Structure 1
């Protein structure tokens, strides 16, 4: 059932197996969006629209040999189902900007495309499916020489020749939209340009225009997406960090027509981009608890209270002496070691706090410990 929700590109990249007991063909989903669409079309049928849904999970896809791409992808995504408006598309794009900023990524760009624009150019050409497929492949590679050769070999109206020849060059800043408006005359493509204009105007209100580029020759998802598409990139990486777009035909494949848009992040690519930009920091390590008593209740109580105050706390449960534990804490970037030496009487200075770098020690009561480590929230 999920296969009917995939475009031809994803369908060809799915892993499939024969179930020797039932004789049925089993497929591992290569993308989560069709699963979300199926759930909405069945379990949420009749619920008020729109649906704003988020998810994360693993998918498997076939990849070409020696491309260096992982076949297992950890996805996290958002789907907005039930709104057919430029504002819904803009909401998704603005959200991706917020995610990239929250992750700490810098100098990223979001490339906008419009599958209806390309579809209009191809339909106006009158080319049969064979030459169209060859043309799509050439345009996806920005191969202007191959595009020119195809136009030379097949009869295409002069106006369509100009539109097709321009497709591999229609990428750059948002001024590309004006270039396309001056060159394209078929009604489907002009309507697509009007749509992308509306989305850009709304994104200007979101104050994210500086992150945007336009690629009107982008044909990714031509058999799946129905309108605006977008992908996120950072310098030094040829792999997109996320991709998304409008897919108004998908829900109907599961018996519940509804417009939809959304995006998915490839979390592995995001982490690799953060590493390249040195945006990944080691997790904070605050306190190592060393218990010199056989009784563990007091040490566990201190650990629990410190965590409730917002500190990361590990208890050294390996049997070793105090100097060895202190050395372990320093090598692992833990800032403090707290030594528990008594049962925690109110006035008893049963605790020793040691700075793992300075090696300065201070004896204190439990109340003095709370004063030294106040709540972080």
Structure 2
């Protein structure tokens, strides 16, 4: 019984822990090359402050407990984006805008879903705080694609959405009585319910699919031109990644984009059942109540490890008595060496692929 773990938790064993660490390092290095500097927020914060920055998500998905030192309620972070927003708004509030930050760390969910049974996940991401222009969005989407490519992820696709689309249309050309219910029905692609609530929105259900076709349908739907700036922006963002990835568009998708503003996107990888990342534009709350625009993305690395594959497990066995200088030279040359600590040790017992013999590495 002492070896059991709570539901939704698991150990990461070799070689998968190594693979996850290598993937994380490659993603962060790709971000660093674009000018994103790493921050490392704490695992837990005061629940009240974290709830404010999580906005629509609140603390419904956060594990909370009373801190024995401060006697205040703390929350284990269910998402790191809100913490990066706090750092940008407070500790780095003096920094010239935009500020580019990257991060990686574990997040903890209060409850899991059938599609995502793990309650603890590794989250990696980038946030560009102080700008949510088309240029900023183009950069963030490009960094996300570069990061996945650097990590060795293949068959990548991006699904774009317009989180504030319904609000924009309702304010400009298509007023609706119950906008919340309409959003839910459009998200569910419930044509019958949409026809009853607001039939003018029905074309939006068909305006989803491969990017170019969906964009053309949206342009045809937008006879009043109220969406022209957003659609032109989408086209420019898509041009930034060209044919490096597959592009789709689902303009009314809102699941997971509750706090995004005019742009949202999901990242998918071949062979992974659900999205491996998500991003878009949003606002950062400052201490004085003012809001600052931002653009960013997060990648959940656990599901990508199996897609990328195991790392190279080339291991060189150094028989008992091998000179220390020989092992040091091979490690300097990039080898992983495993030294025998007893005369009876064997390469098989140490899962080695090569043997040090006659002053050279010999395949086993």
TM > 0.5: yes
Which stretch of the first structure deviates more once superposed, 30-39 or 250-259?
Answer: 250-259
Q: Structure 1: any 5+ residue segments left out of the alignment?
A: 293-297, 339-350, 358-377
Counterpart-to-counterpart distance in 2, 1:235 and 1:254: 44
- SS of alignment partner, residue 295 of structure 2: strand
Counterpart-to-counterpart distance in 2, 1:138 and 1:112: 19
Q: Does the 8 Å contact 1:231/1:240 carry over to 2?
A: yes
Aligned match for 1:355, one of 347, 359, 362: 362
Residues 142-198 of structure 1, C-alpha deviations (whole Å, 9 max, x = no match)? 22233334x2xxxx5xxxx32x21233221122211211211356653432232233
Q: Give the root-mean-square deviation of aligned CA atoms.
A: 2.7
Counterpart-to-counterpart distance in 2, 1:136 and 1:255: 28
Which stretch of the first structure deviates more once superposed, 253-262 or 70-79?
Answer: 253-262
Q: Does the 8 Å contact 1:181/1:193 carry over to 2?
A: yes
- SS of alignment partner, residue 11 of structure 1: coil
Are residues 63 and 237 of structure 1, via their aligned partners in 2, closer, same or farther at CA, if it must alter by over 3 Å?
Answer: farther
The alpha-carbon deviation at position 55 of structure 1 amounts to 0.7
Which stretch of the first structure deviates more once superposed, 71-80 or 180-189?
Answer: 180-189
The alpha-carbon deviation at position 134 of structure 1 amounts to 2.6
Are residues 72 and 10 of structure 1, via their aligned partners in 2, closer, same or farther at CA, if it must alter by over 3 Å?
Answer: farther
Q: Does 1:289 align with 2:305?
A: no
Q: Does the 8 Å contact 1:118/1:189 carry over to 2?
A: no
Give the equivalent residue in structure 2 for 1:136. Answer: 183
Counterpart-to-counterpart distance in 1, 2:85 and 2:301: 21
Are residues 270 and 254 of structure 1, via their aligned partners in 2, closer, same or farther at CA, if it must alter by over 3 Å?
Answer: farther
The alpha-carbon deviation at position 264 of structure 1 amounts to 0.7
Q: Does the 8 Å contact 1:120/1:187 carry over to 2?
A: no
Are residues 236 and 139 of structure 1, via their aligned partners in 2, closer, same or farther at CA, if it must alter by over 3 Å?
Answer: farther
Give the equivalent residue in structure 2 for 1:258. Answer: 292
Give the equivalent residue in structure 2 for 1:341. Answer: none
Q: Does 1:171 align with 2:208?
A: yes
1:274-313 equivalence runs, <5 A? 274=307, 279-292=308-321, 299-313=323-337
Q: Does the 8 Å contact 1:288/1:337 carry over to 2?
A: yes
The alpha-carbon deviation at position 303 of structure 1 amounts to 1.8
1:300-339 equivalence runs, <5 A? 300-317=324-341, 319-321=342-344, 325-328=346-349, 332-338=351-357
Relative to its length, the structure with more helix (as a share) is 1
Q: Structure 2: any 5+ residue segments left out of the alignment?
A: 1-48
- SS of alignment partner, residue 272 of structure 2: coil
The alpha-carbon deviation at position 90 of structure 1 amounts to 0.9
The alpha-carbon deviation at position 283 of structure 1 amounts to 2.5
Residues 252-304 of structure 1, C-alpha deviations (whole Å, 9 max, x = no match)? 466564321111110112113x1xxxx41342324111123xxxxx7333222
Larger radius of gyration between Structure 1 and Structure 2:
1
Counterpart-to-counterpart distance in 2, 1:223 and 1:47: 28
Which stretch of the first structure deviates more once superposed, 105-114 or 59-68?
Answer: 59-68
Counterpart-to-counterpart distance in 1, 2:355 and 2:57: 54
Are residues 236 and 305 of structure 1, via their aligned partners in 2, closer, same or farther at CA, if it must alter by over 3 Å?
Answer: closer
- SS of alignment partner, residue 164 of structure 2: helix
TM-score by length of 1: 0.74
Q: Which has the higher contact order (CA 8 A, sep 6+)?
A: 2
Give the equivalent residue in structure 1 for 2:46. Answer: none
Give the equivalent residue in structure 1 for 2:106. Answer: 58
Q: How many residues align?
A: 314
Give the equivalent residue in structure 1 for 2:272. Answer: 237
Are residues 114 and 200 of structure 1, via their aligned partners in 2, closer, same or farther at CA, if it must alter by over 3 Å?
Answer: same
Q: Does the 8 Å contact 1:45/1:256 carry over to 2?
A: no
Counterpart-to-counterpart distance in 2, 1:173 and 1:12: 34
Counterpart-to-counterpart distance in 1, 2:85 and 2:298: 14
